[in-house]
Chains A and B, each alone.
Chain A
Amino acid sequence: MADEHIVDALVIGGGPAGSITAYEVAKGGYNVLMIEKRAEIGIPVRCGEGISKEILPILDIEKDPSWICSEMDGARIISPCGNVMVIGPEVAGPETGFVIRREIFDRMLAERAASAGANLWVNAEATSFERVENGAVVRCIHDGKDVEIHAKVVVAADGFESQVARWGGLNTALAERDIDTCIQYEMMGVDVDPKYVEFYMGRRFAPGGYIWSFPKGENISNVGIGLNATLIKRGGDPKRYLDDFIRNNDRFSKGIITEINAGGVSVGLPIEKTVADRMLVVGDAARMIDPLTGGGVYTACISGQEAGRTIVKSLENDNTSAEGLGGYERAWRDRVEDQLVRNYLAKEKLLDLDDEVLDKVIEGLSEYDLKEASTQELLKGILEKHPELVNELMG
């Protein structure tokens, strides 16, 4: 017989979304358990490690050099033929970010949850979910042993894999157009500006996606690529494109790879329903990633916060039905949905632009005195130099 374990709330997945949910529930005084199937929180890293500085006030945490490697001043965007657009600090503002050590960031968030009173099991994999009266039962393999966990509410925080929500009857299937696959290297001995992130755009570099370089210090960078699934011809394309880029670029070709990571990113809209009876879905599991940049840590944190706060209220009211948990759906959408939809539309546009158009777009912007990084300002900049692109960009 399986061991039994009873909690108020069970969080499945120990990434940022899960840890922040668990932190909020523990802070509210309820009994919460977070289970993570990996043996070590945060490893392997599946992330380019760039995040917005706004993360500090949102999480109410201090700047900490143990997980912040470097602070960016701005970005350089490079077109297929080599036109460069520079977004300096005066334009980028708070939108510029930190480059972090994701494994330490994730660990910090898990420890914060544990310090607030959450329980944590690593090496614990959820394998099924079933609703029962007033709650749900999740079966899990913890250190090789079967355990049955009874909870009043279960949080699907299982990341891109997103299986738990399916078990609960929610649809998390992605259209092919909404999938990017990525591979990245941590490299040392590369010639990078430690204050600027770089993005290489266009099909020449990365069909349907981009190549990034996020500097983690002098001569160290996280260099990676994402390709859109519809434009991937065969297995291994992401690695082939990234290797070609590095081989043909003097600034990177002499570097040494100290780490390889890969992963999938959703670039569509979030799932339609993130709440069901006894269940909430947070972060990547709910496909809450910025479709334009592929950044998901920020939204994972916001959704975790709202999920945790909703759970506390639902436990106070002793109602973890879909109706009792419904406030979560509104709360996270209020905070991030507009931005996600706007960037989804921009990604759809970008996916269909060919390289010649992209060259002109970036040329236009490089010569324009950009006042702010808003869509309107960007369009103005492009059309001033290349009015003939009006249909391509607005149509």
Chain B
Amino acid sequence: MIMKPEWNEVRCLRCVACVGSCPTGALSLSGWRIKLNEDKCIGCGLCARICPVDALGGGENGG
């Protein structure tokens, strides 16, 4: 299953756990926003699952 993250900017704590964990380097924190490089994302879902506050749609808040 392909699962691309959907960033919830209000929940996000800018903790960069997702950025450092993404296996392909598809995420970055730039100008206080989490940015997704669609070309690099392989939809593995790891970032959404490990976000400590469920700000990428991997828990009750989304997927």
Contacts and interface: CB of A to CB of B under 8 A. Distances in A.
Given A160-B16, A161-B16, A183 B31 contact: no
Given A174-B21, A229-B21, A264-B21, A239 B52 contact: yes
What bracket does the count of chain A residues touching chain B fall in? 20 to 34
Contacts of A183: 15, 52-53
Given A125-B31, A161-B28, A163-B28, A239 B17 contact: no
B17 A235 contact: no
Interface string B1-24: 000000000000111111111010
Nearest to A226: B52
A237 interface: yes
Nearest to A287: B20
Interface of B: 13-21, 23, 25, 28-31, 46, 48-63
A161 B15 contact: no
B15 A235 contact: no
Contacts of A159: 16, 20
A179 B60 CA distance: 22
B26 to A, nearest CB: 11
Contacts, number: 107
B16 A181 contact: no
Interface stretch (A197-205, A255-263, A302-310): A255-263
A235 B59 contact: yes
Nearest to B54: A236
Contacts of B55: 235
B23 to A, nearest CB: 5
8 contacts: A161-B20, A179-B50, A181-B50, A232-B49, A235-B61, A236-B59, A236-B60, A264-B50
Interface in A262-294: 262-264, 266
Nearest to A263: B15
Given A161-B28, A162-B20, A238-B52, A260 B46 contact: no
Contacts of A238: 52-53
Contacts of A181: 17, 21, 50-52
